[in-house]
Amino acid sequence: MYEPVVTVRAENSDDIGVVRRVNELAFGSPNEAALVDALRIAADPYISLVAIERAQIIGHIFFSPVSIETPDNIKAMGLAPMAVLPAHQNRGVGSLLVREGLRECERIGCYFVVVVGHPEYYPRFGFVPANQKGLRCEYEVPPEAFMVAELKAGALTGRQGLVKYRPEFALV
């Protein structure tokens, strides 16, 4: 049986409407789609990738800058949101998006990435509870759900504090 190939590429301006729909369907509301639209305008830099199967966008992932209270203010990103069309979930599309996104974050010189997500899912990509590295989330989330992945070994050594997301996250 033929298994379709899923590829990942950078989002382009022609993708915006489809990406909005993927986020709406994956989350069951327009909130995350509105967040992505707002972050595209305000965040710099950002990473927005799409997963494609049979010439159709079936998934999307977005990374935007976060800040941590450190004197040197190292480059860091937050992973959010990640969306896969319901009919394509549990097939590895999200994993492919996360891996490609982390590679792109590393390529642009990012030191670490944070995520608020499922503690059973993200450790496979190198995420650990952020409190183990001395980081706290500005939002009230369970400690096991706020995670960090160091993209440069030792990047968080001697750094700790409150991680703040872009103000656009108040939309969700």
> Has residue 101 been placed in a domain?
yes
Report which of 49, 52, 51 is spatially closest to residue 64, judged by C-alpha positions: 49
pLDDT in tens, 57-91: 999 999 999 998 776 778 999 999 999 999 999 99
> Has residue 118 been placed in a domain?
yes
> Has residue 24 been placed in a domain?
yes
> Has residue 1 been placed in a domain?
no
pLDDT at 3 (0 to 100)? 60
- If one counts every other C-beta atom within 10 angstroms of the C-beta of residue 26, the result is 22
pLDDT at 56 (0 to 100)? 97
> Has residue 37 been placed in a domain?
yes
> Has residue 74 been placed in a domain?
yes
Which class for 147: exposed (0-12), middle (13-18), buried (19 or more C-beta within 10 A)?
buried
The CATH number of the domain holding residue 44 is 3.40.630.30
Domain extent for 77:
6-171
Asked if residue 1 has pLDDT above 60, the reply is: no
Query: How many distinct structural domains can be found in the chain?
Result: 1
Give the span between the Cα atoms of 72 and 82, in whole angstroms.
29
pLDDT confidence bin for 171, thresholds 50/70/90: confident
Give the span between the Cα atoms of 131 and 150, in whole angstroms.
13
Query: What's the DSSP call for residue 4?
Result: P
Give the span between the Cα atoms of 106 and 17, in whole angstroms.
28
> Has residue 167 been placed in a domain?
yes
The amino acid at residue 111 is Y
Give the three-class secondary structure for 13.
Answer: helix
Percentage of the chain modeled with pLDDT above 70: 97
pLDDT in tens, 117-142: 999 999 999 999 999 999 999 999 99
- The model's pTM is 0.95
pLDDT at 73 (0 to 100)? 75
> Has residue 60 been placed in a domain?
yes
